[in-house]
Amino acid sequence: MSSASPKTIQIFLPSGEPTGIRVAEITTRIVQLIEVPRKRLPEFFKMTESTQVGVYYLVAVPEDGSAPQVYIGQTSDLRARLAEHDNKKDFWERVLVLVSRTHSLTPTHALFLEWLSIDTARKVGRYSDLNANAGSRPHTLAPLEAECREMFETAQTLLTTLGHPLFVPLPQPDGPTVEAELFHCKSGGVDGRGLFTNEGFVVLAGSVGRRQNMPSIHGTSDERFRERLISEGVMKIDGNTVVFTRDHLFRSPSTAAVALLGRTANGWMTWKDQAGRTLDAVKRQAIGA
C-alpha cells in the first residue's frame, strides 16, 4: 500500500447476507467498491450503481492453488457490459466494481484507471492477467491524473480488504535475516526456496522442481494442478525439471511441496530451514511450546 495511515472502512450488506453483495468504502473518499458474486448479478442490475461509469475486475480463485485470474475493464454502462461478460466469459466467479459515490467518475477517469490497474497487476504478478493487452497510457491532464491515482489508492485498500490483493506485492525476504527466513525443499534435483507468510506459502522465483509427475498423483487433481501451473507460465519446463518463473503464493506448504516434487507430500515436514528444522518444528511446535 502507498499509505500506512489508519483508515476506517465501512462494509454495507444490501441483502443482509455476508456472502451476498458487499459495498465497501472509506467514508472520506468519493469512490466505493461493490463486490458481486456472479449469481447475484440480477440483484446488482437493480441497483442504480449498475448504470454508472465504472472500472471492474472479474476474478476467479481456483481451489487447487494455481494462480488466481483477473480480467480488468471499464465501461459507461456496467449493466450492459457485465451482462455481456456473463454470457461470453466462463472463468469468473465474482466481479468487483469501482464507482463514484458522487457520480463524478467520467470515461476519461475510467480509461486511465483501467490502464493503471492492468499495468500494476502485471507488475505485481499475483493474478494471471486475462487481458489481451494493456494498451498505451491514455493522455490525461495532470489534475485529472492526480484524482485517478487517489481513487486507485482507495481501490487498492478496498480490494485487499475484501480479499483480493490484486495490487499488493508478495512478501519478500530482505535485510540480513534473508537466509534465516527461508525454507528449503530439496530432494533428487529439486531445489525449492520459499517463505511462510500470513497468507500462505510463497515459492520464490528460480526454484527448481521435478518435471515428471510421480505415480502417487497420476490421474489426480494434483497432477492437473501442476500442469496448470505450467500452462499458466508460473513454472516453465527446462529439460527434466520445471523452474518457477516468478514468486507464487500457495494456500498451504503442502500444495507448494507437491508443485515442486510432483508427488504427494506433507509440506510441514518437507520444508526445512537452513539448520534442518522442519517448518512444523519452527512454526507449529514453537507455538505449542
Cell output for 32 = 466505493
Gap between the Cα atoms of 69 and 203, Å rounded:
18
State the amino acid at position 170 in one-letter form. Answer: L
- State pTM to two decimals: 0.81
Q: How confident is the model at residue 133 (pLDDT cuts 50, 70, 90)?
A: confident
- Mean pLDDT in residue range 207-220: 96
State the amino acid at position 110 in one-letter form. Answer: A
Q: Report yes or no: 212 and 260 within 8 Å, Cβ to Cβ.
A: no
The phi, psi pair for 90, rounded to 5°, reads -90, -30
Buried b (16+ CB within 10 A) or exposed e, 13-44: eeeeeeeebbbbbbeebbbbbbbbbeebbeeb
Q: Is the pLDDT of residue 135 over 80?
A: no
Q: In what order do the strands lie in the sheet with 31-37?
A: 9-12, 22-26, 31-37, 94-100, 54-60, 69-75, 128-129
Q: Report yes or no: 188 and 203 within 8 Å, Cβ to Cβ.
A: no
**Count of CB atoms within 10 A of residue 81's CB?**
17
- Mean pLDDT in residue range 230-250: 94
Q: How confident is the model at residue 1 (pLDDT cuts 50, 70, 90)?
A: very low
| pLDDT at residue 284, rounded to an integer | 79
Considering only CA atoms, which of 221, 201, 218, 197 is closest in space to residue 266? 201
**pLDDT tens digit sequence for 77-86:** 999 999 999 9
